[in-house]
Structure 1
């Protein structure tokens, strides 16, 4: 009998397998960092061997990646290699107690270096509005998020989530850990506050298409039960080689995001034990200790019991409501899914307005009536009912896409929206008890409602701060395009709030508006809008300038038988009689300050100057309202002299005539006559409306 000898090919195959495994394996650990370990982007930096992704700089991104790509798949295969990583992090809020903390950090696998295609704030420096959710991103991340964003369906403002090409997590859980079994065999969940400055250790393991995420305070033994245990096939997400690291960001909310140590391996899962967990610096901000009280525990116990009783009593009602909502969702259009979190039911709005009773009508908009309503709990609302015509649909979408995501104390708050069958739309706002500004400044208004000089100036300051926020204070630039007294509402404390975003448009801060259609209200339109239809922040400034003159003079921009308001004020200023334009009912009253009134009128004239390049920005306008005129008086120290110098150095009204075909401030007929064949306009009462 001949003995079978081992075939050489088997030895060769075994050698190839062992060699490929050796090539694909990668292990590293850092108990402290230096500049050779990582690629740093944005404001990320290494200080005292600690990786600081962000500090207290607002609207900033910090990203750090391991200095070379790591293999994540078996060559020529869809098989994803297992990996294990652990790191220690700290999120510390600002020492300024008036500054709110945010936004969080993400452990990521990414195919690219750099931070192109990312934005700060709630986007965590990971994606932006345009690429969020794009399957070609090939990005996997584990987020530690401290901001509850309805746009991304966040479960709360302190959670851990799995992100696949999107900031909308596939799975998430409130941050914390499961303690080991006690003597009674119970396993409790300990909630952890992510951004209290404490050091936490995280373990992330991926093997056999299952991802495990575990976390605990530094020094606590790794819990046996992970926080997240999720079946997850990453073969379509990860490329053959990927960069691995961390990213974070700040917005108006700021805090420091730090990584103290880090280990990674796709071959030796015990490497995590080599991280040093003792003697680490603390970033906890000292504060007054909070002691648990029996009354608090008793309150939670009683509250939980009450909730259980309510759930039992209303279970049938909830089932019916869910069935009704499921039917509504089945009939929804694409745009409805995007803005779903703000939707309210028609039944709620119908009950709040008493069946849209005529007794509840409080005003009329361009596309329908406005009703007062009261929600359960006594919350007062204003409901604008919009026509289902094309223009009404555009106004509806413009409002929920812009105002729905903007938050500022001087903007009218949009609480939600509602769509009834057969195309009837409703917008729900915070109720403004004192109505619109135009009802309290004109000569034909009720004398008992007339605003004082101080109140008018304060309201103008409120509108200025709102416009500054729209132009500069959000992730996108927002152009209101219809600033006028009827669109400024007054709350119960007589604070001014800018509303009606039916003509608003938003675009990137570095972009230019692309529309060339004339929109707005006659009397408030800047000359360049009439000429080319292109809106900009300076056209909003022009409208605000007209608003200033309108409020201080107590008359509309265009009135029958009278010269246009801007022309009239300019002429009287040039004749040295500027204060004669002021609402006569204000003069001699307590709080009337001639110098301050003149300053406000000068500012209105400067904002409504025909050349857009000579108008101030809203930031400069706010500075003037705060009593600082620097930056506006480059030619003379006095604002009136500055304005007169502009008029004398260049014949303003002749310039109007040369460029726009009329010799004074544009009227409704002037604008209609200046229309060219390349400009599309539709006329609806006093609105030049084409979106």
Structure 2
């Protein structure tokens, strides 16, 4: 006789789940081919939205343009991550939609206004246009490239786009020449008042009507400020992305989005599945009951009663055993499943087989670098969902490796900035941890900066200046514009990658730490790379935004001078610190001589001098004297004055507690100096 092997509990669980899902799916008479959605965000998070350009997230509020005390020009966009269905080809129905959002437009200088913000629908999730009157919707050099439907809230009169005034609302369709506008002053609304304003946008597809209302309160006015008879069916694609954009042009205007609600309606549910009626009632055979004696009836009754009790009891025992076995199996992978659940809305999960194939079995010929995390491979991924070329960071399972992996993934997965290396996906399998990034064709900054003569393209001055600005921009974002401050802790030329246009992309977040903006840094074990570590970080082990600023200063000096942080002089074989060397030239009034001689003087002398002085001010031994990264960015963008750099390198004396044991070194607690018996003073020149 043949006996089949019992089904493993895990497979049985999968089978039951599939069976129930199929059963309910086919028994549900109200399945719809397309579903209406309902979004409600009282605050914004990086998990749900993508930030482009100058936009940033702080305390749950999106800032679309930079917060500066001096006039600037820029544009920013925030886009909801998931595409939204607006047209159902199966039922040939275009959705109606309604949205409301609260916003405010602030200005430190009321006379410096412009340009406004817009709510938009776009088939593209990378919409970022030009500053000024283009409102971040349209590229000034490709006016017809971006396709969109937008409601603009304009704060500047731009005759080029036939604006009626500097305080109006308009409907824009694939052009900034509004189809129709409404004068907000007639409704008593001043966009530039600085007050929180709520806007309602309602489109009824069946009536071909779009209404826009605005109010200082949370109550929707009866009369809209803009009403347009229009059919948007030709412009609402099957799926589109929803977002906000804003721009400035030589102004200090700030644009904030505080809350947002969005709903679609009008999709019709599919018809209920009909039940089979091919058998008539009269064709059913009815079998009459067979009478039985009273004694046998009682006997069968007792048996039935016994089975009635034993059956459910047996079922629950089996269920309990099955649950116990399943829990034991699930316990071993609980952490991994929890980790994956956190990333369902984030980067893509690759299969190990896919990545192994893409790297030719992790062949040595595909190795493009090594780091603290592990080995980096060049991968050719054939899937159409991602780019053809990627970089795969691979690490074996270890406590340290997994900690760094989870740190890097949890941090960078929620960050969006043009000067960050974009994370494509991840994989946890076969005892390995893998991260998949965009491939940077020009490699790391240190390899390009210190390549052998004649082996590649020398970085010219424009590229070097652009790298300095890009790195300052992304650090400003990490330190001051994220919901939680991110301290990188390992900024160096090896972690600055260069894309095809030699733009800087900061990567390697394995040592990064997240902290709330209003919390002081936690003491920790010192990590990073010698030559880039700030003096106070070496002594106290406290990573702050100012320790990142110090590392940035060293990187900028490397970019300007073409020298490593610590180099051995060919003549004397003496080790020379780059910061000390440049400061020495500054003391003698010869700082321009620190410029990379390979540039052959092909640079703007004032710009070179400014970059060197910015590097020294960031590498100041006194952390209190270092500028913030926002100030550095303003200096490099000529929006703020250069900080005064003393002729002589400052010296600083540390009074710090010398830990008595390794446990004291790695302690995360903040212990007072009085608890230690050994007190040291270290002088940093």
Distance 1:429 1:283, change over 3 A: farther
- Give runs of aligned pairs for residues 95-494 of structure 1, distance below 5 A: 119-120=60-61, 148-149=80-81, 156-158=82-84, 190-195=94-99, 256-258=198-200, 280-283=223-226, 292=234, 332-341=336-345, 342=347, 343-376=349-382, 377=384, 379-421=388-430, 423-442=431-450, 444=452, 446-494=454-502
User: Cα deviation per residue 1:422-467 (whole Å; 9 max; x = unaligned)?
Assistant: x310010011011000012126465533201221111111111010
Secondary structure, aligned partner of 2:224: coil
User: How far 1:379 sits from its partner (Å)?
Assistant: 2.2
- Structure 1 residue runs without a partner (length 5+): 1-52, 61-96, 104-116, 123-145, 150-155, 159-173, 178-185, 199-253, 261-275, 298-325, 634-641, 662-671, 682-691
Alpha-carbon offset, residue 678 of structure 1 = 3.0
From the superposition, tell whether residues 329 and 99 of structure 1 become closer, same or farther in structure 2 (CA, over 3 Å): same
Q: CA deviation at 1:54?
A: 11
Tell me, in whole angstroms, the C-alpha distance in 2 between the residues paired with 1:195 and 1:119.
Answer: 19
The 3 A distance-change label for structure 1 pair 280 and 507 is same
Whole-Å separation in 1 of the counterparts to 2:91 and 2:451: 73
SS of 1:605 mapped into structure 2: helix
The answer to whether 1:679 aligns with 2:682 is: no
**Structure 2 CA distance, aligned partners of 1:187 and 1:652?**
74
Given that residues 386 and 425 in structure 1 are in contact (C-alpha distance below 8 angstroms), is that contact kept between their aligned partners in structure 2?
yes
CA distance in 2, matches of 1:679, 1:556: 29
Deviation string 1:499-548 (CA, Å, 9 cap, x unpaired) is: 11011111111112213321111001111111211111111111000001
* 2:356 and 2:362 in contact (8 A); partners too: yes
Contact 2:99 2:200 in 1 (8 A): no
Picking from 588, 591, 594, the partner of 1:581 is 594
Aligned twin of 1:247:
none
Task: Give the equivalent residue in structure 2 for 1:612.
Answer: 623
Whole-angstrom distance in 1 between the partners of 2:474 and 2:99: 30
Query: Is 1:443–1:555's contact at 8 Å kept on the other side of the alignment?
Result: no
Residues in 1 aligned to 2:404 and 2:666: alpha-carbon distance in whole angstroms: 18
What is residue 31 of structure 1 aligned with on the other side?
A: none
- Is the alpha carbon distance of 1:389 and 1:191 closer, same or farther for their aligned partners in structure 2, counting shifts above 3 Å? same
Residues 1:550 and 2:558 aligned together: yes
**Does the aligned pair in 2 maintain the 1:527–1:660 contact within 8 Å?**
no
Q: Deviations along 1:318-367, whole A, 9 cap, x unmatched? A: xxxxxxxx999889343232224432211221222222222221111223
- Cα 1:327–1:495 change in 2 (3 A) is farther
- Structure 1 399/277 Cα, relative in aligned 2: closer, same or farther at 3 Å? closer
Query: 2:15 is matched with which residue?
Result: none
**Is the contact made by 1:526 and 1:539 (CA closer than 8 Å) also made in structure 2?**
yes
C-alpha separation in 2, matches of 1:294 and 1:643: 57
State the partner residue of 1:562. 575
* Structure 2 CA distance for aligned equivalents of residues 660 and 563 of structure 1: 26
Q: How far apart in 1 are the matches of 2:442 and 2:220? A: 60
1:676 to 1:193, Cα distance in 2 relative to 1, 3 A: same
Query: How many Å separate the matches in 2 of 1:445 and 1:396?
Result: 36
Separation in 1, partners of 2:479, 2:414: 14
Q: Is 1:498 aligned with 2:519? A: no
- C-alpha contact 1:411 1:498 (8 A) present in aligned 2: yes
Distance 1:328 1:679, change over 3 A: closer
- The 1:188–1:599 alpha-carbon spacing in structure 2 relative to 1, beyond 3 Å, is closer
Partner of 1:684: none
> Within 2, Cα distance between the matches of 1:414 and 1:659?
40
Question: Is the Cα contact below 8 Å between 2:99 and 2:201 reproduced in 1?
Answer: no
TM-score (ref. length: structure 1): 0.51
Q: Per-residue deviation at 1:394?
A: 1.4
Deviation at 1:373, TM superposition (A): 1.1
Q: Is the 8 A contact 1:176 1:192 kept in 2?
A: no
* Pairing 1:621–2:632 present: yes
Match of residue 650 from structure 2: 652
SS state of the match for residue 450, structure 1? coil
Deviation of 1:496 (Å): 0.8
Question: Aligned residue for 2:71?
Answer: none
Q: 1:294 to 1:523 in 2, by over 3 A?
A: closer
Aligned-residue offset at 1:679: 2.0
Which stretch of structure 1 is more off in the superposition, 386-395 or 617-626?
386-395
Distance 1:293 1:399, change over 3 A: closer
**Alignment correspondent of 1:225:** none
Partner of 1:32: none
Q: Secondary structure at the match of 1:448?
A: coil
Per the alignment, in what secondary structure is the counterpart of residue 378 of structure 2?
A: strand
1:190 offset after TM fit, Å?
A: 4.9
Compared CA separation, residues 616 and 328, structure 1 to 2 (3 A): same
- Rounded Cα–Cα distance in structure 1 between residues aligned with 2:222 and 2:429: 62
Q: Deviations over 1:576-620 (max 9, x none)?
A: 12122211111333xx11111000000000000011111100110
* DSSP 3-state at the match of 1:434: coil
Query: Is the 8 Å Cα contact of residues 54 and 255 (structure 1) preserved in structure 2?
Result: no
CA distance 1:366–1:282, change in 2 (3 Å) = same
Q: Secondary structure at the match of 1:194?
A: strand
Identify if the C-alpha distance between structure 1 residues 54 and 293 changes in structure 2 by more than 3 Å, giving closer, same or farther: closer
How far apart are the structure 2 equivalents of 1:255 and 1:414? 36
Q: Kindly tell me: are residues 369 and 677 of structure 1, through their superposed partners in 2, closer, same or farther at Cα, counting changes over 3 Å?
A: closer
Query: Corresponding residue for 1:66?
Result: none
SS of equivalent to 1:585:
helix
Q: 1:373, 1:386 → 2: CA distance?
A: 15
How far apart in 1 are the matches of 2:220 and 2:613?
64
Contact kept, 8 Å, 2:98 with 2:200, in 1: the verdict is no
Matched-pair contact (CA < 8 Å) for 2:87–2:237? no
SS of 1:393's equivalent in the other structure is helix
Q: Distance in 2 between matches of 1:571 and 1:99?
A: 37
